[in-house]
Structure 1
Amino acid sequence: MSNGHWKKELESEELLKIIFDYAGRITIENNLDRLLLLMADMGRDMTVADRCTLWLYDEQMDELWAKVAHGAHGMKEVRVPAESGLAGYVYQTSEPLVIEDAYQDQRFHADVDHTTGYRTKSVMVIPLKNKQNQTLGVYQVINKLTREGLFTPQDVRNLSLAASYTAQALEAVLMNTEMEEAQKEIIFKMGEIGEVRSKETGAHVKRVAEYAKLLAIKSGFSEEEADLIKVASPMHDIGKVAIPDAILNKPGKLSEEEFLAVQEHANIGYHLLENSKRSILKAAAIIAKEHHEHWNGKGYPEGLSGKNIHIYGRIVAVADVFDALATDRPYKKAWEMKRILTHFKMERGKQFDPTLVDVFLENLDGFLQIKEKYEDDRTK
């Protein structure tokens, strides 16, 4: 850096402004990736540094991991052994570390510098502790941008203080993420229960979930909402648990009475899920009830039509029928792709939302890739 570009140490008011600005955003952020980036940016700005990385400890893997900005493509996950390098040293000792020149310290690993062409010089690493004094991970701040180029004891105090405030927000999001992961697993397993009873494999549940996400993304949904549809969709046929095996696995045509019994699974699934306050289960309730409604109003259980059918139900309808036609079932062999595509074109604006059929046909390659990927998954 040339002499004309040195930055000044922050005045007290400037430091407070940075802390308040970031604290306001950090406490309301519930997405883990975005929270980690915010906390790293706060560390960088507070200490007038060039870069800051927040490393978190992964107990299962005994590793430290971090999300780092990765060009225009968003984020990349980096993992190192929990005792590796300067970050690992501070994680193990739980004591702050300030170094003038990383290359003079044998604990420093220069591999990343060598691959990126970056030159790490001054480094400050501080432990990130929760209220119970457990170390969750470490803050690693690199290359002080002032003329002296050195991190100060004041930097250590400031960042340690900010870290202790933000650790609480981080723990809440980590806890929520863990709960959501557990929820997703339970939902998937429950979805499989319904399928196993109708002689299906878990691959059906998986494929429908992936098709639904792809359809949502290509229809302009955000990644988060598309994921919500994906994780909720395995419950679309959960109501089948209440339908007798003899009807569920009947190889021939169903009588009118049997068909009405099968139709009832949409309402049963909805009533199983409707009272949950969790966003995933709320979405699952909608999907369970409405994925058999038809765009022209001739579906069940309510006979809803057009946009009165929730978009989640309309999306899963396309995903579910495509999978039903493209795979063998107890009552029929898989259709050829040409016949399936003809069916969707015929049912555009009848059974299915016309816009979604167009999106499906435009992105057929993506659907076929998913089909191939989960074709022979008999293990799940």
Structure 2
Amino acid sequence: MQILIVDDNPANLELFGHMLEMLSDTPPVSMSDPGAALAWCADNDPDLVLVDYMMPEIDGLEFLRRFRALPGKEQTPLVMVTADTQNKIRHEALRLSANDFLTKPVNFIELNARVGNLLALGRAQRQLAHHAARLADEVRKATADIAAREREAIYRLSRAAEFRDPETGSHLLRMAAFSELIARNLGLPEDECERILAAAPMHDIGKLGIPDAILLKPGPLDSTELEIMRRHAQIGADILADSASPLLQAGALIAASHHERYDGSGYPRGLAGEAIPLYGRIVAAADVFDALTSARPYKPAWSFAQARSAMEAGCGSHFDPACVAALFRDEAALAAIRQRYDDHHPSPQQQLKEAA
């Protein structure tokens, strides 16, 4: 426990130092210049300050005012030494949050008792703070574990839909990472970027409700089949609806809106422009970009330049121009995501661990 003594009288400094040295495991710091003492306090954290009121230039009240203004010094115990008749000074010191007073001439027993009590209180408060920090850390770890398990369950559920579709599990991881990249480049808060990363794989969960004859049909769909296929957006939203989980709420929003088009020609609700939820606009761009730049049985993978040209041509009609601009703001990051989640490497098990 570190005690700071501030008094312009060298005799008082020596006297108080001798009186207090037995209360702390560290010798008291004694300073006769209050300005220098404040500068020292800016770089150090005393556990208690004993300051005299009667000092030139910077008196005890002004010292207290400046001391409390220093970062982290709002609760540091401070004892002021005053004369017995200075009640007005004491009242002002209390207003400025002095913790206790000593009256001149200072009594050794009283000094030790008052300072000892404040130091004991400080120790207890510090122990409580450390205990609270440990508990908070344990809560953070437990919460992180729960969130990781939730993300893993969501990813596995999303993979169940993908197993009924020609697309790969790597597609889920890539488009989720592309979605996060768009969100970051749009300046969304960290928690929202993480939520989009975790929720994006649920975008096509509604395919679980589409008959195999339509979902796996090798040729073009007729108008009736196309209408049934388009129901997967609303089915996905219904599967995830009414959850208390912010992550599943985001998934429901994405499932319902990622096939909307910026000009209002999309489905299921025909929303346009900013009436389409931002999460849906982000995932729409990320999903199409990955589809264009991935090889499929019916087409080769497009280059980034080809995909960019096609998507920029669709800005204002299919896509939100801001989302497309954010997607292509960092092509090195796009390439890194594609390499990391290649269709053949790493293994699905490794990908699942990374997603969780």
In the superposition, the TM-score normalised over structure 2's length comes to 0.63
Superposed, 1:187-266 pairs within 5 Å as 187-266=154-233
The question of 1:339 aligning with 2:287 is answered no
In 2 relative to 1, CA 234–47 (structure 1 residues): closer, same or farther, beyond 3 Å?
Answer: farther
In 2 relative to 1, CA 377–197 (structure 1 residues): closer, same or farther, beyond 3 Å?
Answer: farther
347, 351, 354: which one aligns with 1:379? 347
Equivalence for 2:103: none
Residue type matched to 2:309 in 1? T
In 2 relative to 1, CA 157–218 (structure 1 residues): closer, same or farther, beyond 3 Å?
Answer: same
Q: Secondary structure at the match of 2:271?
A: coil
In 2 relative to 1, CA 201–46 (structure 1 residues): closer, same or farther, beyond 3 Å?
Answer: farther
Q: Secondary structure at the match of 1:315?
A: helix
Select the structure that is richer in strand. Answer: 1
Q: Deviations over 1:204-252 (max 9, x none)?
A: 1100111000000001112221111111101001111111233222222
Q: Secondary structure at the match of 2:318?
A: coil
Q: Deviations over 1:227-281 (max 9, x none)?
A: 1111110100111111123322222211112211211110010000111011111
In 2 relative to 1, CA 9–168 (structure 1 residues): closer, same or farther, beyond 3 Å?
Answer: closer
Percent of aligned positions with the same letter in both sequences? 36
Aligned residues between the structures: 248
127, 131, 151: which one aligns with 1:164? 131
Equivalence for 2:262: 295
Equivalence for 2:12: none
Asked whether the 8 Å contact 1:46–1:159 carries over to 2, the reply is no
Q: Deviations over 1:34-77 (max 9, x none)?
A: xxxxxxx99x99899xxxxxxxxxxxxxxxxxxxxxxxxxxxxx
Equivalence for 1:325: 292
Asked whether the 8 Å contact 2:293–2:302 carries over to 1, the reply is yes
Asked whether the 8 Å contact 1:219–1:359 carries over to 2, the reply is yes
The question of 1:9 aligning with 2:47 is answered yes
Residue type matched to 1:293 in 2? E
Residue type matched to 2:48 in 1? L
Superposed, 1:74-113 pairs within 5 Å as none
Asked whether the 8 Å contact 2:261–2:319 carries over to 1, the reply is yes
In the superposition, the TM-score normalised over structure 1's length comes to 0.59
Q: Secondary structure at the match of 2:269?
A: coil
324, 336, 352: which one aligns with 1:369? 336
Asked whether the 8 Å contact 2:47–2:122 carries over to 1, the reply is no
Q: Secondary structure at the match of 1:197?
A: coil
Superposed, 1:10-159 pairs within 5 Å as 10=48, 157-159=124-126
Q: Secondary structure at the match of 1:362?
A: coil
Q: CA deviation at 1:166?
A: 4.7
Unaligned runs of 5+ in 2: 1-28, 51-70, 78-118, 349-356
What is the alpha-carbon distance in structure 2 between the residues aligned to residue 2 and residue 154 of structure 1? 22
Q: Which has the larger radius of gyration?
A: 2
RMSD: 2.9
What is the alpha-carbon distance in structure 2 between the residues aligned to residue 176 and residue 216 of structure 1? 23
Asked whether the 8 Å contact 2:340–2:346 carries over to 1, the reply is no
Q: Secondary structure at the match of 1:334?
A: coil
In 2 relative to 1, CA 174–245 (structure 1 residues): closer, same or farther, beyond 3 Å?
Answer: same
